[in-house]
Amino acid sequence: MFSPNKKNTSLPAQPDISQFRFAIVASEYNAKISDALLNGAIECLHLHNVTENNITVIRVPGAFEIPITAQRLAVTNNYSAIICLGAVIRGETAHFEYVAGECARGIQDVALKTSVPVIFGVLATHTLKQAQARAKNNDSNKGREAARAAIAMAALFNRLP
């Protein structure tokens, strides 16, 4: 509880993230969408002075394989954050719900079990058109958004005790 009479401890200054290491796990399924998300994430990291040497990209067959791969990367303690990218687009069966839901749950589980920021940048859309709109080469690209979240969380975790 906040008390005006107690000295509040502040966090250290914002770190230089250019030396942080990031992993990106990207699905090969729905490749045009995943590739656009991946390009957006990498561009964002470069804009924040993260070099190619500090970015590891791992491709997996589909969204269902993202969490286990993120976990393998997280337990190495080599990465400041892991960005998970892909697209699950609703079809005519219940497959969409299982894949999207389990992917989200798995990514969250990895973050909670390892204390490494694992960012959910997997689109779950009703149509291809919706996925394309979220993967455009502009500031609303969800890959860029995921990279911004990874940068923010990596910086925060670097400052936390």
DSSP, residue by residue, 122-160: EEEESSHHHHHHHTSSSTT-HHHHHHHHHHHHHHHHHH-
Separation of alpha carbons 132 and 34, rounded Å: 10
The pair of structure tokens assigned to 71 is 């976990």
Contact present, 25 and 84 (Cβ < 8 Å): yes
Q: Edge-to-edge strand order for the sheet containing 81-89?
A: 55-60, 22-27, 81-89, 118-125
Determine which one of 46, 48, 95, 126 is catalytic: 95
Q: What whole-number distance in Å separates Cα of residue 14 and Cα of residue 156?
A: 8
Is 95 tagged catalytic? yes
Q: What is the dihedral of CA 143, 144, 147, 151, to 10 degrees?
A: -170
Where would I find the beta strands (DSSP E) of the chain?
22-27, 55-60, 81-89, 118-125
What is the set of active-site residues?
Answer: 95
